[in-house]
Amino acid sequence: MRQAGYLNPNSSGYIVDNVTYNTRGWVVDGALYQFSGNSWGSPANDVDIALLSGTTTGVPYDNTTQLSNNNSQATISDQR
């Protein structure tokens, strides 16, 4: 699988309690999703959560340290 999911602009929802590995991670492109309880297997993802340039700042993605902590120390690529 290339990526766990590509979250399209103007979509929203919840990404909860998934185990993802050996992908390019969750890609957020202008979408508004709550991430919680997700974990990461082996082999590792390229990144776990990628926030692309069209993605909003503020809740639910800032603070990225808290986002990482709420998702088993996710590796976050913040490209906003």
- pTM for the model stands at 0.95
Does residue 45 sit within a domain? yes
Does residue 8 sit within a domain? no
Domain that holds residue 45: 20-78
pLDDT bracket for residue 2 (50, 70, 90): confident
The Cα 47–Cα 57 span in angstroms is 19
Residue 53 and residue 79 in contact, taking contact as beta carbons nearer than 8 Å: yes
Does residue 12 sit within a domain? no
In this predicted model, what pLDDT tens digit does every residue of 62-74 receive, in sequence order?
Answer: 999 999 999 999 9
In this predicted model, what pLDDT tens digit does every residue of 6-60 receive, in sequence order?
Answer: 999 999 999 999 999 999 999 999 999 999 999 999 999 999 999 999 999 999 9
Half-sphere exposure of 12 (CA within 13 A, CB side): 6
Does residue 38 sit within a domain? yes
pLDDT at 28: 98
Number of domains comprising the chain: 1
3-state secondary structure of 41: coil
The Cα 64–Cα 49 span in angstroms is 10
